[in-house]
Chain A
């Protein structure tokens, strides 16, 4: 089974992977329909809350405040989880997290676990690590089940099997379910209702006998030690309440200071994500409760590149992300390229800024991800925690092209420019020249505007490689700064 491991990316660079996806007509049509549907619904769900902008500002501020004092809140969280009967573990990277979880499972004497959909465990390649230790990990979210049975990778944060049609899903269920447990019914059709029923029967067997569950969490509350999981299907509730041992692997950035802070995110996350007023099920638990739910609770706090990301003052805002997937659904690049092209568990705009920061920009895929965008800004507009994704993209591009200071594994380093980016480097240098000399920029813009009709489709010289894969944007009739002066200049 191929799975992403953020530690060892072995994916083709984005332009290559995206090029392939763009040629897949079915995939493009699916993506277009899906993203547009969720996008339109989301817009309606958001308009219903007249204070959306204020909720968004509060969400951003809560996250920024937490990140500024992350050491304090993690210690407080550890204390409150421990006081409530849980055990806290710290993991610096994927290997350490996998070792901890594997050890905890083996100590129970069990050889199988049920899993709630969790990006953190995908990020560290936990399923593969468990498999290597002889432990079977069963994904229980319907889409994740489809992905797992299909020996596939997720392609969307919220609907990981968005790239699969119903007849493909039926075929996967028919051919694969039997080797994992209860087989699909002989005469299984491709009606979503029938498919969901087959999944229900297949998984119920596992829920009823599972002794160990592995989950992530959407939020952790420092003040109370409360963990929060939002979901729709009830598979989360099954995993979080029926087994005897529960192990949650959670990125350190998921902590919020107070129980009260949930009032912001429980309003913004469902509406941004599934465009619902509220998702069908939310589970909150604090340590262990006598007689109700798991008798052992382990929390594994995962760094895996997050503290390095925190060290970057422009890039750290990516840690505010609450994984709603709104940015994917509005992104023109994601809509055409699909999630697999991003070569990580985090696809779309957030993936383009988060993965290269968590993993570093050393590999081809990570060096190209900051370019997987048109910088149109739609992702920033919809983001419920106001992450300025375009700003971080530009920042990371500069790092790829020019190198510069960064933090890797806690150590300050000076990155060298990535290979193969001479075209961008030249373009950057030209841009910097212009930006440093406003007069020259003004002249260049006006010249461009006048030369509109002569516009070439490809740039000459070092710009050629850049236009190999991009359409040159139309040159506006009038430079922006002229328009601004004319329209707004006299108001200040």
Chain B
């Protein structure tokens, strides 16, 4: 008998006599509170800030200048292929594209990365990337020490974890980010930035529905 069959038959023997498990109660809340879209965005900002992300707010017109300012200390910036070109129109940093053949080592020297996102969750202060064209491969928001992430408000902001999962496609690689990398392993002192970016800038971009 193969190991697989052995394990399966052990499971069947262990549970065969048992009645069906009762149905799963789904009476927990879909969101914790009712908020206007503006309140949801404020909550997102507050929770991100609590995690020591730096939060900025602007509109389409103000975005290029804001990004230029956030990248003023960066010589190089990783840019996913699908990032709207005008976002970085005012930035001086040299744009670097993550190519199929570039190794992690090639990317190690890059200062910053700028991406969009799939969505953001207000109740937990989380941004989620799903590898879409304006986000690129997972590595580009991991290796540089500085990540700038643009969130379209209100379209990309949801209240809660249940709402987020409904909108995400599990077939895509998903990266959930709540503040910059952190550790509390040494005497429970929180230290930001062990391996991922030590600085996370989140730009809440006002894009009123047309």
Contacts and interface: CB of A to CB of B under 8 A. Distances in A.
B173 A285 contact: yes
A328 B160 CA distance: 29
B183 A233 contact: yes
Interface string A271-311: 00010111111111110010111000000010100011011
Contacts of B131: 289, 292
A252 B7 contact: yes
Interface string B5-27: 01111111111001011111111
Given A207-B104, A241-B142, A242-B139, A193 B191 contact: yes
A58 B26 contact: yes
Q: How large is the interface on B (under 10, 10 to 19, 20 to 34, 35 or more residues)?
A: 35 or more
A61 B21 contact: yes
A24 B72 CA distance: 52
Nearest to B191: A196
A204 interface: yes
A192 B191 contact: yes
A221 B170 contact: yes
A232 interface: yes
Contact of B180 (A161, A260, A263, A280): A280
Contacts of A274: 184
B165 interface: yes
Given A208-B108, A241-B138, A274-B184, A68 B15 contact: yes
A280 B14 contact: no
Interface stretch (B63-71, B84-92, B121-129, B201-209): B121-129
20 contacts: A34-B188, A38-B188, A71-B8, A75-B8, A200-B193, A207-B104, A207-B195, A232-B183, A234-B197, A235-B195, A237-B138, A241-B138, A242-B142, A276-B51, A280-B196, A285-B174, A289-B172, A293-B137, A303-B10, A311-B10
Interface of B: 2-4, 6-15, 18, 20-29, 32, 47, 51, 100, 103-105, 108, 121, 123-126, 131, 137-139, 142, 161-162, 165-166, 170-189, 191, 193-197
Given A74-B7, A264-B28, 11 more contacts: A50-B29, A61-B21, A92-B6, A161-B185, A166-B186, A204-B195, A233-B194, A252-B11, A278-B178, A282-B174, A286-B172
Interface of A: 30, 33-34, 37-38, 48-51, 54-55, 57-58, 61-62, 64-65, 67-71, 74-75, 84, 90-92, 96, 140-143, 146, 159-162, 165-166, 169, 192-193, 195-196, 199-200, 203-204, 207-209, 221, 224, 226, 232-235, 237-238, 241-242, 252, 259-260, 262-264, 266-267, 270, 274, 276-286, 289, 291-293, 301, 303, 307-308, 310-311, 313, 316, 407, 410
